[in-house]
A and B are shown apart, each in its own frame.
Chain A
Amino acid sequence: MNTTRREVLMFAGGSAVGVLFTPAPWRLITDSALWSENWPGIPAPGHGEIRTRYTNCSLCTAGCAVRARCVGDQPVQLSGVSGHPLTHGALCPFGLAGHHLPYLPSRVKQGPAKEAADAVANGIAKCGAGECVATLDLQPARTASWTYRRAMAALKNGRYVAPSGDSSVAVDLSQARTVLSFGVPVLDGWGTPGNVNTARGGFRLIQIEAVESRTATMADQWLRIRPGSEDALAQALAGTAPIATAADATGLATSEIVALIAQLEHDGPTLVLGSSRLASSGRTVIARREAPVPAEWQKAAPVTALASLPDRSVRVLLIDESAQGEYLPWHTIEKKLVSDNPVIVAFAWSREGYARHANFVLPVGVYPEVAGDIPSAIDSVAATFRIAAPLVSPPADMVKPEQFVAAAAGLATGDTLRERADAIHKAARGSLFTYADAKSQALKDVTADAFWKALNAGACWIDAPDDKAPVAQLAAAGTESRPAEQADLPLAVVVSRELTPGSPILSKLYQESNLRLAPNRVALNPACGLEDGAQAVFETLLGKCHVGVTLDAGVPAGVVQVSGSPAVLDLCAAGVRAKVVRV
């Protein structure tokens, strides 16, 4: 009896039907899915002893205290430190996921350090009369910043450049009864989250802003004004311009401005926040001493504003964007560079910022990989010194920007953080707050070694109270200039500055959910004629780039809200207008 081809096919068919009624195929699909969740390369906590370690978050200058739950050497959970006198146990969503940052997909992991050092040396040697070597430090007032300043002082034509902002001035939220904010994200990343939340019950928040930001929605009062009319309103409030002029510029009713002036007069002390200027009535803006530094560091280059550098004068530009800070649009930097082959070195964790324009991009460690101190927060009435103690090791080939710059300038440096800590200890003022036991003790009662050890275990030095001197009385504090009407660029630009870098997981969540404006998106009023999710070109007089469109009723007609991503900020300037065209 021969088996025919058709019988074999029937047998195979029966098997195929039969196997569908067993768990095998379905289980194989499930197992394959589970297997793919644990592929090599997907970050997974190692095995080991469960320990608690402490550090300080260096994602922004709030520098919140962090309690890290670690399995072996791997942090698996970050949380705040309760009882902390400044951060009050709070940690923002970016800080809660800070331990994801080493796994940023866009991270720069290799760079030509040797070639960059040679090019910088050549550039310094070629520097002619009227030319200079400049270091741009996005987050000044760190110990690394002092190294940059010393290195630039060691060069005869060195300049230390930093964005605007004065670390010797702080605001005391606890003294304010009214906070008048000109577009400052007071409740969304401006100060120390725990400190702002703690003080929030004590002041009335009035938000002056063109778009319905998160702070605007949570403020006690939101006054929607026309984009760029902040200065006109501020001058009317300060009594230096007619109310009618401000009403005309802002779109507010005269009665609203009169009522606002009355509120500020009766509900003081008042703190006025502009994006870069502060003003106050009462003792809400105070002078703050800086944390002590070694005496020999005082021979440092002064802080220079970028605008004060002559055009076409920078032969070598070293940019430290390893720490978060104010992004200066590239067009403001580019005009300062010499026209013939300037050397530009960017110390960066990603290629999305100044790295796009640099000759050399050198990789740097990210939080929580590298040790570095955090400048005092804007809302900390006393100077602080805290170190972001590393929780994990950085990858090989990471460059330490301050060491690179010091070596290029021929400046010999040691352990600068330790030297700074010793100088603070020598001053013997203030107190040391340790996180594990949530206790404060006078610094004079602690030895220098114990102080250093405590700082590396996530402690915080807080300066002694100083004579709090008011810096300014209520004055004009608006900052934006009003966009001039242009027929071909119908939209006024409002920049929404977002904190980056963020956790890869959180970034994906908020970008896909549109909870925050993603770096490559712009927000427009639903009546703009474009569809939500449409691809478009964002264009200003400075250039154009591709963006996605988000429709948001909180954005008024005639306004485009853009994110704070470097590619978009490069196209923006004060008073810039734009158009968004569907592609």
Chain B
Amino acid sequence: MTLRRSISFLAGLAMALGAGWVAFPRVIYRSRPQPVNFSHKIHAEKAGAKCEDCHSFRDDGTFAGIPTLDKCAGCHAAPMGTTAAEKSFIDEYVTPNREPQWSAYAGQPENVSFSHAAHVKRAQMTCESCHGNTGSSDTLRPYQVDRISGYSHDIWKTPNMPHGMKMADCVACHRQKGLEHSCLDCHK
């Protein structure tokens, strides 16, 4: 009898561990594909583009974020190559002048104001220090969003986001560099 009870206990333990470590991470996130299969690698290698060529700063110093269709259409008004992704992009977005609905992997929630200017220009941080190898990726991963919090998967520490971007991560990095700030610096 004792053996059977032990087996029941271990079975429950194993099932919970499996559900918690394998099934839960798949259930907690909802995936949605990006509108276009964009290749950072091709743009960097073949077109020689740098991050700031597309993800630029405005004249007033603020960060423009994901480029708008105007920026893309500047080069891709007509196909430059032969890939199906480019043809699809032109047919579905450039020609009808429809803005693609990109999902920002590193997008912060509504209650946070993150300044790229302060981090990139003033602190001289590289793009890779937060965005990992996104700039050399050949394809865009599906965007994964937490079903409960609504936060992007990349806010947590992942291979694509080596430091994580939760408040604790921001605070830890600032403390490591001897920087102390107030609540309203980020929570405008």
Contacts and interface: CB of A to CB of B under 8 A. Distances in A.
A434 B97 CA distance: 37
Nearest to B24: A24
B110 A10 contact: no
Contacts, number: 102
Contacts of A14: 8-16
Contacts of A10: 5-6, 8-9, 12
Contact of A22 (B10, B20, B111, B148): B20
B120 to A, nearest CB: 17
Contacts of A30: 149
Contact of B21 (A16, A23, A77, A97): A23
Contacts of A28: 148
Interface in B1-35: 4-6, 8-17, 19-21, 24-25, 28
Given A35-B150, A38-B109, A23 B24 contact: yes
B58 interface: yes
A15 B15 contact: yes
B188 interface: yes
Contacts of A44: 110-111
Interface residues of B, number: 33
Nearest to A69: B62
B60 interface: yes
For chain B, what secondary structure do more than half of its interface residues adopt (helix, strand, loop), or is it mixed? helix
Nearest to B21: A22
Contacts of B25: 23
Nearest to B5: A10
Interface string B139-161: 00000001011110000000000
Residue with the highest number of chain B CB atoms closer than 10 Å, among A34, A50, A77: A34
A496 to B, nearest CB: 25
Given A13-B12, A14-B8, A37-B109, A22 B19 contact: yes
A18 B15 contact: yes
B47 to A, nearest CB: 27
A42 B110 CA distance: 10
B62 A38 contact: no
A7 B8 contact: yes
Given A34-B149, A50-B58, A505-B184, A11 B8 contact: yes
Q: How many A residues touch the partner, as a band?
A: 35 or more
A18 B148 contact: no
A76 B113 contact: yes
B188 A18 contact: no
A27 B8 contact: no
Interface in A1-31: 6-8, 10-19, 21-24, 27-28, 30-31
Nearest to A22: B20
A27 B16 CA distance: 15
Contact of B62 (A24, A37, A50): A50
Given A10-B12, A14-B8, A24 B148 contact: no
Contacts of B24: 22-24, 27
Contacts of A21: 17, 20
A261 B111 CA distance: 56
A165 interface: no
Contacts of A32: 148-149
Nearest to B4: A7
A97 B183 CA distance: 13
Nearest to B17: A18
Contacts of A23: 20-21, 24-25
A52 interface: yes
Most B CB atoms within 10 A — which of A15, A45, A76, A97? Answer: A15
Contacts of A50: 58, 62
A162 to B, nearest CB: 36
A32 B113 CA distance: 21
B111 A38 contact: yes
A18 B62 contact: no
Nearest to A26: B20
Nearest to B146: A31
Nearest to B23: A24
Nearest to B10: A14
A21 B113 CA distance: 35
Interface string B150-179: 110000000000000000000000000000
A21 B28 CA distance: 17
A208 B20 CA distance: 69
B119 to A, nearest CB: 17
Max count, chain B CB within 10 A of own CB: residue among A16, A30, A42:
A30
A21 B19 CA distance: 11
| B5, B12, B21, B28: most-surrounded residue (chain A CB, <10 A) | B12
A77 B148 CA distance: 29
A11 B12 contact: yes
A32 B28 CA distance: 12
Contacts of B21: 22-23
Contacts of A16: 12, 16
B123 to A, nearest CB: 20
7 contacts: A7-B8, A14-B8, A14-B15, A18-B12, A21-B20, A27-B24, A32-B148
> Lowest 6 A-B CB distances belong to which pairs?
A22-B20, A14-B12, A18-B16, A44-B110, A34-B149, A15-B12
Interface of B: 4-6, 8-17, 19-21, 24-25, 28, 58, 60, 62, 109-111, 113, 146, 148-151, 184, 188
Given A10-B6, A34-B148, 12 more contacts: A7-B8, A10-B5, A14-B8, A14-B14, A21-B20, A22-B20, A24-B20, A35-B148, A38-B150, A42-B111, A44-B111, A52-B60
